[in-house]
Structure 1
């Protein structure tokens, strides 16, 4: 059995699981997750990452007769800024993991992993989510896909036949959307949790702390208006990019997507009014989808296609 470990690094967590490389499903019993203090020291962060990954390694070695001499591929779904080819973190000025600035994640992790026979590969977290979402939607795996994550931030990936596209006349610069202009600001300020919290406080005068799930649970006129405004904004913003890329599938993930019952119908109606008829897939478990996507880096055909295009940011 071909086994790869996929790792999803978030702003406050790490998740790790072994993936069967033959059919790209997470192997039961190998998924582990834990909270991480992104403001901690380099040693504390790296040790926590290694602790979670080691739990997955242990299950692989105990259950699948992997010995200490067998090489295990470890693939990371990693937020930027990051040098994905070299594995060097470039976190600076973004309030997370700044103690890892200019640190080789590969070299530091090797100090704490339970085996030294590992191979590391890295890809942007939004791209990993898109690749994983494409793998789960087999009928669209070879199509043009836009994948977005709606949560504390606004992530995006444009994929053609599972390959992330970051340059070209039909995609935004770097394949990113968070920094693109929208209304009186940038997209990240409209399609993230803080927009919902700000809107709720503006309308009701009340502050909430538990995010979009709390707003979704209230279900009154105020919250209905917020979700309608969100649907209107999102469709208005995404429409030109969907048209330019000629996308066949839109994948939505992140915590906000879990409240899709409150905005999806309006969002789809708005797109249809713009003559956009696109399939939409809602992904409930963004972390596990990103793990699947990262593990695909050890598909050698895919790796040969993507390694020369790894972003340097």
Structure 2
């Protein structure tokens, strides 16, 4: 039986772990995390990735075929495994590089099969697999951190071509105000907006803004809440969602915006449960490893988005 590893690729980190294909739990002693300089050369990025993945491979110590599923941010050709990162301030040295063809040279095991899924879709699949949501059929999964991720699931399957879901099944690139949604629902928006309002410059993350706990903190979160509530409402209505999963670094500050969002959506016809997934990276790993579930792969492989 093939062993399955989940890998989560972030803007500044990578995590890797063996996932039990029966229980969908991460196997103890196989979880590793490392930092990545996403602006480095291709060689250095692959060395950073492989350093972590190889630790998991070494902990497995198996001669069997190992399936490695990647929770990968876009833009990316998920069918072919080719990176399309361009003009998005991360992994640009991998532009048009085949991860399938080139990363294997850095791995300790050559007996591997690589598959790829959008990181937000991986989060949605993993979040639903590891919680008791079997009665929920239409799920919207949202991650807010270095970027804005979203996926739309019907019966555990991320959809990109259903009439009720947005084009490509994602939201990060949808038009909003003077740009796209990723410009407004990400760490960089919080930092930029807080620094603009306060005149301060020594702010490096949302945690710093929360710790300031001043009038500008309140204003930033109020603006974020208003933008987020109004942006998400039509998508939740169109999709007829019966559950929302929320993950990413923003969950650490969820009390500052999520109750407002839930109340707003409720008043506007979306009265559904909202579940915080605290261990977002673990959900990403589990969802990515699920690419090696034969039934799931058979249903998803032909519909994987190309970017």
TM category (shorter chain) comes to over 0.9
Q: Does 1:136 align with 2:157?
A: no
Task: Give the corresponding residue for 2:209.
Answer: 215
* Distance change >3 Å, CA 200–CA 95, structure 1 → 2: closer
Provide the secondary structure at the position in 1 that maps to 2:139. strand
Distance in 1 between residues matched to 2:135 and 2:280, nearest whole Å: 17
Provide the secondary structure at the position in 1 that maps to 2:295. helix
Shift of 1:140: 4.0
Moved segments of 4+, more than 6 Å: none
Distance in 2 between residues matched to 1:24 and 1:3, nearest whole Å: 12
Shift of 1:7: 0.4
TM-score by length of 1: 0.93
Q: Does 1:100 align with 2:115?
A: no
Task: Give the corresponding residue for 1:306.
Answer: 300
Deviating more after overlay: 303-312 vs 196-205:
196-205
Contact 2:209 2:217 in 1 (8 A): yes
Report how many residues are paired.
307
- Aligned pairs for 1:126-165 within 5 A: 126-140=120-134, 143-165=137-159
Among 259, 268, 281, the residue aligned to 1:274: 268
Task: Give the corresponding residue for 1:36.
Answer: 36
Task: Give the corresponding residue for 1:255.
Answer: 249
Distance in 2 between residues matched to 1:285 and 1:275, nearest whole Å: 29
Let me know the Cα RMSD of the aligned residues.
Answer: 1.6
Contact 1:2 1:22 in 2 (8 A): no
For residues 106-158 of structure 1, the C-alpha deviation after alignment (integer angstroms, 9 at most, x for no partner) is: 22222121121111111111111111111122324751111111112111111
Task: Give the corresponding residue for 2:236.
Answer: 242
Task: Give the corresponding residue for 1:181.
Answer: 175
Contact 1:2 1:21 in 2 (8 A): no
Task: Give the corresponding residue for 2:25.
Answer: 25
Contact 1:4 1:298 in 2 (8 A): yes
Deviating more after overlay: 126-135 vs 199-208:
199-208
Q: Does 1:46 align with 2:46?
A: yes
Deviating more after overlay: 192-201 vs 298-307:
192-201
Distance in 2 between residues matched to 1:72 and 1:174, nearest whole Å: 29
For residues 156-195 of structure 1, the C-alpha deviation after alignment (integer angstroms, 9 at most, x for no partner) is: 1111111111123211111121222223432222211122
Contact 1:38 1:97 in 2 (8 A): yes
Gaps of 5+ in 1: none
